Chain A
């Protein structure tokens, strides 16, 4: 158990809908990272927050947004969902920001768009 929690574990929704994925980092970790893992693209970095502020942005679509709240939990919002958004979404947390800080991954949320 990494100490990172993600809810829900599974999510099934229809195209065009909007969903929110939630992540609680390990106690004491200030950074939260979001990743998408799909069949044909491996693990793709989406976005990172550190202590409430956006710090890095990867291949995140405009239909997706995220935020980190004062209690350090984070939410990833996915809107106007398309079939291609079906994937595993992972959250990771670390104490600091930068590649040398070990990232601890949550168990993921499996999103299925039908």
Chain B
């Protein structure tokens, strides 16, 4: 499949290490945040979300942290695997608005 060759920030990690991907958001009114994973040749896929009344949420091998004071979001992936190699996007939304705004994305490469 094909994928767009985005000029993105990149992160390379060794297999088995933990990964941290960061995102700064812009809208103070945003109250809903989502992380998406986009593999080569595919559309974005939902990973995990968090509401603004929380500062941490955990999923399977993933944790999202939200710091509203500095408008910062991070995605932590534990024990990174080759299948985690992808582009990761954060997205922000606001209750009452229908659309999401996506960040630039970070390309994660896992080194076996």
Which secondary structure dominates chain A's binding surface? strand
Partner of B43, one of A45, A50, A56, A90: A90
Give the segment of A12-20, A36-44, A67-75 that binds chain B: A36-44
Of chain B, the residue at the smallest CB distance from A100 is: B32
Partner of A48, one of B2, B99, B101: B99
Is A84's CB within 8 Å of the partner chain B?
A: no
Partner of B89, one of A42, A45, A92, A104: A42
Interface size class of A (residues with CB under 8 A): 35 or more
Partner of A107, one of B43, B97, B98, B104: B43
List 14 additional A-B contacts (Cβ < 8 Å) besides A39-B5, A100-B49: A33-B99, A37-B4, A40-B7, A42-B105, A45-B102, A56-B98, A56-B99, A87-B4, A102-B46, A102-B49, A103-B46, A104-B46, A105-B44, A108-B42
**Interface residue ranges, B against A (CB under 8 Å):** 1-7, 32, 34, 41-46, 49, 51, 89, 92-105
**Interface residue ranges, A against B (CB under 8 Å):** 2, 4, 10, 31, 33, 35, 37-40, 42-45, 48, 50, 55-56, 58, 87-88, 90, 92, 97-100, 102-108, 110
